[in-house]
Amino acid sequence: MKPINDALVGQPGLAVVDIAAADDATAFAVQNLLAAHCAIAPADRSTRDPGEPGVRLRCFLDLRQTPDT
């Protein structure tokens, strides 16, 4: 995954969430839970690190907005 830069978290209410899970279904379920509570820029695919267990998923949250905006 690319490093988190200042623009991604440059204001209060912005966050980057990295999800590590055993499988895609679990990672996307966590992302859906977050999306129910705040506006997010969802990930459309997970990544796998060779030799490491599970998958990773990164999404971007904006706590200043509601999920439907």
Residue 69 within a domain: no
8 Å CB contact between 61 and 9 = no
- The C-alpha atoms of residue 58 and residue 42 are separated, in whole angstroms, by 8
> Counting runs of H as helices and runs of E as strands, what totals does the chain give?
1, 3
Q: What are phi and psi of 47, to 5 degrees?
A: -125, 155
% of residues, the chain, pLDDT over 70: 84
What is the model's pLDDT at position 67? Answer: 75
Please indicate, yes or no, if residue 8 is contained in any of the structural domains. Answer: no
Query: Is 50 a domain residue?
Result: yes
What confidence tens digit (pLDDT) does each residue in 17-65 have? Answer: 999 999 999 999 999 999 998 899 989 999 998 999 999 999 999 888 8
Structural domain includes residue 24: yes
User: Does 30 map to a domain?
Assistant: yes
The whole domain housing 53 covers 13-62
**Could you tell me the pTM of the whole model?**
0.79
Total domain count for the chain?
A: 1
Quick check: is 2 in a domain? no
Please report whether residue 25 resides in a domain.
yes
